[in-house]
Structure 1
Amino acid sequence: MSVTTADVTPEFRGEDMYDLGHTTIFSCRDDPRFSFCMYVPRSVHNAESAPELVVAVHGTGRTITEYRDAFSHFARWNNCVVLCPLFPVGVLGDDNRNGYKYIREGDIRYDLVLLSLVEQINQRYGFKFKDFGLFGFSGGGHFTHRFTILHPSRVWAASVGAPGSVTLLNPEQDWWVGTRNVAELFNIEIDVDSLARVPVQMIVGDADIETWEITHKPGGRHWMDGANDAGQTRPERLDTLRRSFEAAGVNVQFDVVPGVSHRWEDCIDRITGFFADILEQRRASGRI
């Protein structure tokens, strides 16, 4: 019989150095092309409050352990588990580094990959996570707002950091610019009422104005009509996304950080502060 961390006794086990605290990197059970690391407080099963889950999605640089480590102090003091998935470059052998950002790549559904990872850690650790806080910056910001649009009932709060391109709640344009064909592509009907219940932070530096990486051009892999219509810079595009979400009834905390360029590290205190505030409200209301 295999033993998991759900069976951990108060005595220290050698495996704890890999499964608790700053964990090692695990493969995805359902699709080993993907992997993940975690931060799991050693007192997670003994704390006064039930643990919560925060998922931090990497940008194009895929520095998952840096994301994990940046959230570990917050997670320790708030009894949260941090899950950082790794979506590698070129999963389909074509050197595509952006597929996960748009949720769908060939036959891969990155939203379903993430949900399978959550179920995997539930089984491994004996957790009961049904929803989670979701953060992503840059490429992870792409993923975070699109996942939240598709699966609002699985997200108790979302922090969307400086995405290069945005999907607006626009039924007149196809995915990824709009949402007209979401049912056809994802077999999902957008639940605007559920989306409106998700607290959302949108955060970007006011000096994050380089456009070389985010300007779509005809012939590009993700080019489509309207690709650049949300604005030229990341702050402009994120503000357009804010207005789209707010028009749908979503409460958006819009943070423009003075003097900050495209650096999530300079935004982390505001990001963890947002999650801490929402988590306090969530626990006080008994919505866990």
Structure 2
Amino acid sequence: MLLRRVLRNDPTKEYLLYRPTGASTDSPLLVVVLGAGRQWQQQVAAFIPACERIGVTLLSPSMGGAVRTSYRSIGRHENRADVLLHDCLREVSLHTGIDATRFRLFGHSSGAQFAHRYLMAHPHRVESAVIACARWYTFPDTSRKFPFGIRPIKRLPDLTFNPEQYLLVRITLLEGTMDTEEEVFHHSDLISAQQGNNRLERARRWVAAMRSQAQAHAMPSLIELNEIEGVSHHFGPLCREGRLVQRVFWSLFGATIDEESATTLRQ
């Protein structure tokens, strides 16, 4: 059963938790970040059959409430989305006995914006990650301030980025080949000029930038981009036609998931 819980130290914040049948304290942990929309719980449920089949514990924090407007870029000093996730991880570890120090990470759309920024800021917590259809990216560019580059900012003074650490995280980007609707960032044409005018173009440019940085640090590139034919960024079609769940579990766990273990959303 997918459980909906509130944090003990702050009942205004909630998360979803799934424990597979017979799970031990050695169960691997998957963190799924999908935001806090009306379909949040239904979308998370798409991963449950696969989690049950291969024995994965799932945690999905709600990015609603105080962090709703800023979680995509980690949050604000007084309402940090990364701190919220750490609180959820700590509580899940207490409830289940599993080691939540390191985990696999998946984020989609707005959740992907948070997820890739989180792994760049906290690479020691993430074993591997799948980033699907992020709208904007943090480029490995010290000349640009966060969240579009890695130059520190005053509102998050303790948020730092170490390329030699985050380049060690294996990252798979998933992006639909039809995700080409032009979106111009309303604050600055310079950001659009750097990142691109649609999600597919931005994904390609971010991967190229991360690979270039790895080369500059004489490190192997651990990032790849999988372009999914015939879909855009919408969650339902990604699951149905794009085999999203299967792709996530293959990338993060090396597990082959059949159709019966991947819930097909109808919306």
Give the TM-score range, shorter chain: 0.7 to 0.9
Provide the C-alpha distance between the structure 1 equivalents of 2:29 and 2:121, rounded to a whole number of angstroms: 19
Partner of 1:233: 198
- Matched-pair contact (CA < 8 Å) for 2:76–2:156: no
Q: Please give the residue correspondences for 1:53-72 in structure 2 after superposition, counting only pairs within 5 Å.
A: 53-59=29-35, 61=37, 63-72=39-48
In the other structure, the counterpart of 1:86 is: 62
**Alignment counterpart, residue 269 of structure 1, candidates 221, 227, 246:** 246
What is the distance in 2 between the residues matched to 1:158 and 1:73? Answer: 20
The reply on whether 1:22 has 2:30 as its aligned counterpart is no
Looking at structure 2, the residues matched to 248 and 154 of structure 1 have their Cα atoms a distance apart, in angstroms, of: 21
Select between 270-279 and 36-45 the one with higher mean Cα deviation: 270-279
Higher mean C-alpha displacement, 240-249 vs 200-209: 240-249
**Alignment check: 8 A CA contact 2:249 2:255 kept:** no
Aligned-residue CA RMSD (Å) = 2.3
Q: CA deviation at 1:271?
A: 1.7
SS of 1:34's partner is: strand
Equivalent residues of 1:39, 1:68 under 8 A apart: no
Cα displacement string for residues 221-245 of structure 1 (whole angstroms, at most 9, x for unaligned residues): xx35733220001000111111122
The unaligned stretches of length 5 or more in structure 1 are 1-20, 218-222, 280-288
Q: Deviations over 1:9-30 (max 9, x none)?
A: xxxxxxxxxxxx322x111233
Q: Deviations over 1:15-67 (max 9, x none)?
A: xxxxxx322x1112333332111211121028xxx211101101463533223
How big is each residue's C-alpha offset from its partner over 1:184-230, in whole Å with a ceiling of 9 and x where there is no partner?
7241432222212211000110001223xx4221xxxxx35733220
* 1:159 corresponds to: 130
| Map 1:20-169 → 2, pairs under 5 A | 21-23=1-3, 25-45=4-24, 50-59=26-35, 61=37, 63-88=39-64, 91=66, 97-105=68-76, 107-169=78-140
Letter in 2 for 1:22: L
Once the two structures are superposed, residues 242-269 of structure 1 have per-residue CA deviations (whole angstroms, 9 ceiling, x without a partner) of 1122223241121000001122323232
Q: Which runs of 5+ in 2 are unaligned?
A: 215-220, 257-267
Paired residue total: 243
Is the contact between residue 57 and residue 135 of structure 1 (CA under 8 Å) also seen in structure 2?
Answer: yes
Task: Give how far 1:104 is off.
Answer: 1.6
SS of 1:185's equivalent in the other structure is coil
Q: Is the contact between residue 157 and residue 278 of structure 1 (CA under 8 Å) also seen in structure 2?
A: no
- The question of 1:216 aligning with 2:193 is answered no
Q: Which structure is larger by alpha-carbon Rg, 1 or 2?
A: 1
Counterpart-to-counterpart distance in 1, 2:100 and 2:45: 21
- Identify the structure with bigger relative contact order (alpha carbons < 8 Å, sequence gap 6+): 2
Residue pair 1:64, 1:85 contacting (<8 A) in 2 also: no
